[in-house]
Amino acid sequence: MKRRIGILTSGGDCPGLNATIRGVSKALYQRMGDSVEIVGILNGYSGLINGDYREMKPTDFKGILTLGGTILGTKRTPYKLMRVVGDDQLDKVAAMKKTYKAAKLDCLLCLGGNGTHKTANLLSQEGLNIIGLPKTIDNDIYGTDVTFGFHTAVDIATEVIDRIHTTAGSHSRVMCIEIMGNKAGWLTLYSGIAGGADIILLPELPYSIDRVCAAVEKRAANGSNFSILAVAEGAMDCEEARQKRKDWMAKRMEAGTGATATNRIAAQIEQCTGAETRVCIPGHMQRGGSPSAYDRVLATQFGSYAAKLVEAEHYGVTVAMVNNHVTENRLADVAGKARNVPESCDLLAVARRMGISLG
């Protein structure tokens, strides 16, 4: 009997999605031969809601190991709206179940981050056969030591910091580089250390601008003619940390400094230290292009493991890496949780030992 396997990519894209899709499909064809049919759901849960899907052929998965983005397309379809009936009167959960049935799926693989996993768990609780695969450059999925996409983004952000170093040195400037990561600071911490940043500011560790300026001045006093800051998108100061997110966001917008703290920090440094300061925002470049060798290997490990789960009809789980071992966690144990940089993180201790200011 034929087994029909659905696959979708949801949320922000990242390098390694296609490599994972290829890992799943190649291993499925390898293990199950002609008895498997793969159905690509287009643009994430939006495609599942709207019935947008297509039958995939083995040739669709050829040559995609190194390809950035996702051949299936993706979209953010917020979990919190899944149960909300909008103007279109559409019951999204019922619509997703209807598409699953219409496409005659035996199971559905959902590649994505935290939001994707919440909806995957919802669908699993609704009785669908679901397997998750952990993707995100933020590396913040609970229960896995690493997500695919993260290390490629670390490489890209590190290259940005490297390149900024030379121009910072030539111009004797302070450079504030904004690294992606709204809630989790893993990408900023890793690339900040890899790129030799002098000051690293994370969402998990609210900063004091006085401490940041003091760190810049200390470097100048010690003879350094430039300073490099790696600032996470979601960095906030100690005062903001005591307020509700929507309140401090509104204040930032009112002040005209933008949604993130980076521009404000740069202006404050210039004012307080007199050092010429510039901002660099690599933004979505951190999610673009070909996956690194590390991510290609990880994607292939995760994808082929998911194929094994399909074959064993083991559903309601998501693939994970725990202590260098590929395994799975129950979706119900992962959904709704996140993995942030803990105070006990070894790399924070390393940063402090190296004299890096954490603000």
**What is the C-alpha to C-alpha distance for residues 221 and 256, in angstroms, rounded to an integer?**
32
Q: Which is nearer to ligand F6P, 137 or 298 (CB)?
A: 137
Interface residue with ligand F6P among 98, 106, 182, 267 (CB under 6 A) is 182
15 binds ligand F6P (CB under 6 A): no
137 binds ligand F6P (CB under 6 A): yes
Which of these ranges, 26-34, 130-138, 242-250, 258-266, lies near ligand F6P under the rule CB under 6 A?
130-138
113 binds ligand F6P (CB under 6 A): yes
Interface residue with ligand F6P among 22, 287, 296, 339 (CB under 6 A) is 287
Q: For residue 301, give both structure tokens.
A: 């490990």
249 binds ligand F6P (CB under 6 A): no
192 binds ligand F6P (CB under 6 A): no
233 binds ligand F6P (CB under 6 A): yes
Strand 325-330 and strand 317-322: the pairing is antiparallel
Identity (one letter) of the amino acid at 356?
A: I
138 carries an active-site annotation: yes
Interface residue with ligand F6P among 9, 23, 123, 138 (CB under 6 A) is 138
136 binds ligand F6P (CB under 6 A): yes
69 binds ligand F6P (CB under 6 A): no
Q: Which of 160, 211, 210 is closest to 190 using CA atoms? A: 160
Q: Which residue has the CB atom at the shortest distance from ligand F6P? A: 180
Minimum gap (Å) between residue 253 Cβ and ligand F6P: 17
Residues 6 or more apart whose Cβ sits within 8 Å of residue 93: 82, 83, 122, 123, 126
Interface residue with ligand F6P among 8, 10, 12, 157 (CB under 6 A) is 12
Q: Which of 13, 60, 138, 145 is catalytic?
A: 138
Distances 342 to 31, 137, 349 between C-alpha atoms, Å:
40, 18, 11
180 binds ligand F6P (CB under 6 A): yes
Residue by residue, DSSP assigns 59-122 as: GGGTT-TT--S-TT------GGGTT---TT---HHHHHHHHHHHTT-SEEEEEESHHHHHHHHH
Which of these ranges, 21-29, 55-63, 180-188, 309-317, lies near ligand F6P under the rule CB under 6 A?
180-188
Contact string 321-350 vs ligand F6P (x = CB under 6 A): ------------------------------
258 binds ligand F6P (CB under 6 A): no
Which of these ranges, 25-33, 66-74, 178-186, 258-266, lies near ligand F6P under the rule CB under 6 A?
178-186
Q: Which of 22, 347, 326, 350 is closest to 144 using CA atoms? A: 326
Which of these ranges, 135-143, 156-164, 237-245, 264-272, lies near ligand F6P under the rule CB under 6 A?
135-143
Q: Is 46 helix (H, G, I), strand (E, B) or coil?
A: helix
Question: Which runs of consecutive H residues, i.e. helices, occur in 110-230?
Answer: 114-125, 150-171, 186-194, 209-221
Which DSSP category does 350 fall into? H
Q: Which of 40, 27, 41, 28 is closest to 2 using CA atoms? A: 28
Strand 53-56 and strand 36-41: the pairing is antiparallel
Q: Which of 112, 117, 114 is closest to 140 using CA atoms? A: 114
Catalytic positions: 138
Q: Could you list the residues that contact ligand F6P (CB under 6 A)?
A: 12, 76, 113, 136-138, 180-182, 233, 287
